[in-house]
Structure 1
């Protein structure tokens, strides 16, 4: 099995310093966080990923198929300093317009509602599938330290329709949120479908074992009229003190002859083309376009790479996500939206750019307003 070049934890640490304020969290835990908050931090760390019979698992950790370039220690210090002094470049100047969604009792054949960052309510073949649900104010092990939302979630958790499945791409805090998992466990009955190892976190948080489905890349499960396929991604995992003990993934959702691809959080990989040849065309591709940087080119794809991925997947409509909600990189706030719009136009791609909370159907007119202009 090809091994990841260098140590992915080095890159994880670099991004964590910038995105989660780890150093600040450590100081705050000693000085300002009380016993209750410390208990919450410890709980949010989850559990170890365990041992797995997988081609991608060796010596206690998971590995990318392709090498992932990493940031060395000197670069980590530089990134941390730059992030601490970069000011408001990654924040909107005004209030982000939101739409309060009104979902039908029965899901549509092919529709989507982007709720911010990587949280999307997909409607595929009359089934509701929620991806990477994060309702917390911060994406961090702490409720007081770490990246804070630029906008509220457009709808409360209580407003969600009855879900058929929840998909998790990996265990980073901006994709796996303890408080949101707790709420969904109490108020819904759907299964959580996750990559290998992520189930250990859910079990530690009290999710019943019979509501957890763990899959390796290229494995599928049929449930509630859906076929869900765990697809290869190019990324890493970890919740502060662990690295790559759980797998990361993208997901293919199929039902009643319709399909959607949720890219989760990934750098570009030729594996997307392999999946497109096997399963395409795919009606809806939901792909990350933000938090890219030349210093971690294999971790987050650029908007140009998202359009390339969409074409590799033989996609119908492209929905850009993983931007606008949290400040996790160094580009300007609206740069991903402008760049992906230009790339889509150049390549003749049907692009949907909804406001957070704006529901749309892939079979009807797509949201195309440049709502971020001036923000």
Structure 2
């Protein structure tokens, strides 16, 4: 009788194991979808969005839909292709944050902290804002499998001060964390989300009156700020049956005389120039730089394109995000930072690479740390 424990350990039967995992995952995802546990509800056509046709949202430019065969091929590639340096071999440097430290930040400026991946905490003239808060250990519908964090967040949700605003760019698992939203529901005043995402938040316990949903170019003005939901070239979906049933996008924000931009996820497209023309120049841009591949180049920029997007936006300092936290592609975990640094030098772009948990302000010079 074969000793499968030994064979699996040394890799001779790894193909069988991988196929077994694939079959198991497909079965579990199917069960979840049939039980309506992970598929988004979407939005009705009465929203009058120019991007919505027959219940499905579309990009301005035609973007190839991967289809089942290509999606399955990418999934099999994830299970079978050998990766090099997909995860750090050593503990990554990080600054721990405390409630007291955040409270001590001045109320007369805009301060930022990277929390990991694309999650950003900001203190905006005394108010705390969160962008794409993901605190869970895995960016996945499952707690026991899927992309796992390289390092913990520098602060836990229960340690956070009262949050005035939470911003969501789209509903993918590495940007919309159900567990985090449920914990934030009672300590947050307002949630700013793309069209359709409001249904999930309400289902997860957020009061309806707290949720503001946005179409592209729709803005919200307060006493001292202008908040605009701006286009990206991407897609949405949390299951196999809800692709593009909710919108996706980015956030362009002006507060007093300061401006900053949060990209969410996007392929490189002409929309960056239009956003820069309408709402730039930006003091700081937080630009997606990671999880790219030739298989999905139209929905995730390369690092070189990320630098060009920053230039299109008329940004001053660029902070690359969407890297260094989860293994979501086939490149080495540090490759996005190496490539974006090289391109920034070539194009004379002021690149800032703070550590996770490091506080910086909108008027500070770029932080030049090769921490990776």
> What TM-score does the superposition give when structure 1 sets the normalisation length?
0.86
Distance 1:222 1:293, change over 3 A: same
Shift, 1:123, TM fit: 3.5
Corresponding residue SS for 1:165: strand
Distance 1:107 1:347, change over 3 A: farther
Q: 1:334-373, aligned counterparts within 5 Å?
A: 334-372=334-372
Residues 311-330 of structure 1 mapped to structure 2, 5 A cutoff: 311-330=311-330
**CA deviation profile, 1:79-100 (whole Å, cap 9, x unmatched):** 2232113245321111111111
Distance (Å, rounded) in 2 between the aligned partners of 1:50 and 1:330: 36
Partner Cα separation in structure 2 for residue 46 and residue 63 of structure 1: 16
**Which one has the largest radius of gyration?**
2
The change in CA–CA distance for 1:83 and 1:107 in structure 2 (over 3 A counts) is: farther
Find the partner of 1:49 among 21, 43, 47.
43
How far did residue 42 of structure 1 move? 5.2
- In structure 2, what is the equivalent of residue 15 of structure 1? none
Q: Is residue 67 of structure 1 aligned with residue 85 of structure 2?
A: no
Aligned to 1:11: none
Give the secondary-structure state (helix, strand or coil) at the position aligned to 2:201: helix
1:162 shift after superposition: 2.7
Distance 1:90 1:299, change over 3 A: same
Alpha-carbon distance between aligned partners in 2 of 1:259 and 1:161, rounded to the nearest angstrom: 23
Question: Displaced runs of 4+ in structure 1, greater than 6 A?
Answer: none
Contact between 2:83 and 2:330, CA under 8 Å: does it hold in 1? no
2:77 corresponds to 1:78: no
2:294 counterpart SS class:
coil
The answer to whether the 8 Å contact 1:282/1:313 transfers is yes
In structure 2, runs of 5+ residues without a counterpart are 1-20
Change over 3 Å in CA distance of 1:110–1:336 after alignment to 2: same
- More displaced stretch, 100-109 vs 294-303: 100-109
Q: In the alignment, which residue of structure 2 is the partner of 1:103?
A: 102
Matched, 1:58 2:53: yes
Higher relative contact order (CA 8 A, sep 6+): 1
1:124–1:260: 8 Å Cα contact kept in structure 2? no
Q: Normalized against structure 2, the TM-score is what?
A: 0.86
1:264 and 2:264 aligned: yes
Label 1:312 to 1:126 Cα distance change in 2 as closer, same or farther (>3 A). farther
How big is each residue's C-alpha offset from its partner over 1:330-372, in whole Å with a ceiling of 9 and x where there is no partner? 1111000011111111111111101111111232243211111
Q: In the alignment, what sits opposite 2:146?
A: 146
Distance 1:159 1:366 in 2: 28
Work out whether 1:193 is the aligned partner of 2:192: yes
CA offsets, 1:154-173, max 9 Å, x none? 11112223322110001111
